[in-house]
Amino acid sequence: MLRAIQGIYMLRPVWAVLLSLLAGAGLIAIAGVNPGEAYAALFGGAFLDYYGLASTLAKMSPILLAGLAVIIPLRVGLLNIGAEGQIYMGGLFSSMAALLLPEMSPVVQVPLCVLAGALGGGLWGLIPGYLKAYRGINEVIITILLNFIAINLVSYVAGGPMMQEGAPYPYSEEIREGLWLPYIMPHTDAHLGVVVGIVLCVVAWFVFRFTTVGFGLGMIGKNPVAATYSGIRVRRNVVAVMFVAGAIGGLAGTFEVLGLKHRLYHLFSPGYGFDGIVVAFLAQLSPLMAPVAAFFLSGLKVGGLIMQRAVGLESTVVEAIQGLVIIFVAASLAFRFDRGNWRRFLERRRLLDAGIAGGITNNSGGRS
């Protein structure tokens, strides 16, 4: 019985999503649209249609990597709100490597662009990591502020030094086609970035599950004092984890530029870094579940636009449904499985049932 109850608790994000969709059905009905038709357009368009699925996978790439950039620090007791800024810095550094370096073979320059993007995001994560580890400054505040700095820095560069001459909007020259990421679905925007993201999730799961490094990082997240006494260098690991998380966030920006945009745009990320936070909690901090959560959230965004066109829903209703998912998932985190309380409850229930059964038996014997 305890295992069954624990399984129900483990699936609480699923229940939260189902309840949010049920509440969303109410909003759709109020708007005068059949909820069944609306959800059929949403899920059919995002997951069953060839081009809709490709759009979902293209959007999944940055969301998944941003989610992993949040999950890894959270496993160590750190909250990285700066994935958005790390995405922008990754896009900036990779664009500079693609446009400003001398033209060379794509076999050489593509890895250089990817490394440059990872380095840009990593440096942006290194700053709050160092300040947290050696100065005790809250990483949440630093990462939030660094988001604004990165966004405005990219806006300045895209609209200034790297802006294409005569462009009507702040964006850079187009990156040459030889440096674009390969596509995984012909004639679509789905690119190799989503595959790299899934591979990184598997690697992160393996590290946390089977290596001494992962065990030490988990110990830091649960009890940094005990980790220090056991010989783990907590400060160094905090800095390293934030650098790695920043590098993964930088890859999200890199793949968005090299795989989809092919230029450095002003405001090229519509909040993927914050979507990563939703993915992290929807996946319950599991790197293996992050692709599933990112796939669902990406499909919800793509399918929302399809639903809006198919059944004529207002965009505000679509945004409200997406917001309901976030609210319900966040609320589900408040419910935690407490083995001791449930064991005591089941024991009391067993004794009560035994007492009732005994009373029934005695009454039957007295009447006879």
For 2-37, the pLDDT digits (tens) are 676 666 767 777 888 888 889 988 988 888 888 898
Contact present, 298 and 202 (Cβ < 8 Å): no
On whether residue 315 sits in a domain, the answer given is: no
Mean pLDDT of 121-136: 95
> For residue 71, which of 318, 245, 210 has the smallest C-alpha distance?
245
Percent of the chain beyond pLDDT 70? 90
With H, G, I as helix, E, B as strand and everything else as coil, classify residue 71: helix
What is the structure's pLDDT at 202?
Answer: 97
On whether residue 319 sits in a domain, the answer given is: no
> For residue 253, which of 279, 271, 277, 278 has the smallest C-alpha distance?
271
> For residue 163, which of 295, 266, 9 has the smallest C-alpha distance?
266
Amino acid at 61: S
What is the structure's pLDDT at 330?
Answer: 77
Contact present, 303 and 48 (Cβ < 8 Å): no
Q: Which CA distances in Å does 103 have to 100, 107, 154, 230, 270? A: 9, 12, 23, 50, 30
Helix 83-99 and helix 106-135, axial crossing angle in degrees, nearest 10? 150
On whether residue 266 sits in a domain, the answer given is: yes
Residue bearing tokens 């990406």: 298
Residue 167's pLDDT band (boundaries 50, 70, 90)? confident
Longest dimension (CA), the chain: 102
Question: Could you tell me how far CA 182 lies from the centroid of its own chain?
Answer: 23
> For residue 3, which of 334, 350, 342 has the smallest C-alpha distance?
342
Domain that holds residue 125: 57-276
- Residue 5 has which token pair? 């109850």
Residue bearing tokens 């829903």: 313
What is the structure's pLDDT at 277?
Answer: 92
Residue 194, phi-psi category: left (phi > 0), alpha (psi -120 to 50), beta (remainder): alpha
> For residue 324, which of 33, 24, 40, 15 has the smallest C-alpha distance?
24
> Cα angle vertex 139, ends 203, 77, to 5°?
50
- Residue 209 has which token pair? 């599950």
What is the structure's pLDDT at 4?
Answer: 67
- Residue 213 has which token pair? 């490094």
Its pTM stands at 0.88
On whether residue 152 sits in a domain, the answer given is: yes
On whether residue 338 sits in a domain, the answer given is: no
Q: What is the pLDDT of residues 58-117, one digit of tens each?
A: 999 999 999 999 999 999 999 999 999 999 999 999 999 999 999 899 999 999 999 999
Q: Provide the mean pLDDT of the chain.
A: 88
Residue 346's pLDDT band (boundaries 50, 70, 90)? low
User: Which alpha helices (DSSP H) does 263-314 contain, by range?
Assistant: 272-282, 290-311
Tell me the sheet residues that pair with 191.
183
On whether residue 195 sits in a domain, the answer given is: yes
Query: What's the number of domains the chain is made of?
Result: 1
Whether the pLDDT of residue 233 is over 70: the answer is yes
What is the structure's pLDDT at 367?
Answer: 54
On whether residue 1 sits in a domain, the answer given is: no
Residue bearing tokens 């669902």: 296
DSSP 312-344: ---HHHHHHHHHHHHHHHHHHTT----HHHHHH
What is the structure's pLDDT at 174?
Answer: 93
Question: Could you tell me how far CA 203 lies from the centroid of its own chain?
Answer: 16
Contact present, 300 and 308 (Cβ < 8 Å): no
CA distance 359 to 57: 62
- Residue 254 has which token pair? 């890199």
On whether residue 199 sits in a domain, the answer given is: yes
